[in-house]
Amino acid sequence: MIQDLKSKEAEAKVKLQALVGDETVPIKDYPQSESSVSISLEKIPEFNPDHIILQLDDESSEEVQKRYKEMLSSSLWKNMTAVQKHQVYLLGGKEWFSLVMSPLADSNAIDDVLRAFEKKGK
């Protein structure tokens, strides 16, 4: 299973490279030892990527929805390159967290990201 996942990751990397070219998706200098990093809205424009993959940890939570709507209405958010290019992908969420980022969750995440980018490219 792990070897299959590594192969899938390698294939996905090649496909994404073809889809986005030199445009940015990840955070520059992302600490490889971390599985996730929290970034405040005020810090996101410093990275200003061409594409943003956005994940809400619980779409059914009123608090999460409130914070999400506040972010969408923020001028910091609206002025970001990815937002202006309509290259923001809302993916994953509770189903990714419920699988605790297991190999199955990683595999599903790869599929979701590729589908989103391939759909956007058409």
- If one compares 43 and 35, the residue with the highest pLDDT of the two is 43
The predicted-structure confidence for 11-41, as pLDDT tens digits, reads as follows: 998 998 899 988 988 777 766 777 667 778 8
* pLDDT of amino acid 105: 75
* pLDDT of amino acid 39: 79
Q: Collapsing DSSP states into helix, strand and coil, what is residue 54?
A: strand
Select the CATH number that applies to the domain covering 37-121 from these four: 3.30.1120.130, 3.40.50.1980, 3.50.30.60, 3.40.50.2300. Answer: 3.40.50.1980
- Mean local confidence (pLDDT), 91-103: 65
44: nearest Cα among 14, 72, 65, 3: 72
The predicted-structure confidence for 45-91, as pLDDT tens digits, reads as follows: 888 899 998 888 777 889 989 999 999 999 999 999 999 999 999 88
Strands (E), the chain: 52-54, 88-90
pTM for the predicted model, two decimal places = 0.77
Residue ranges per structural domain of the chain: 37-121
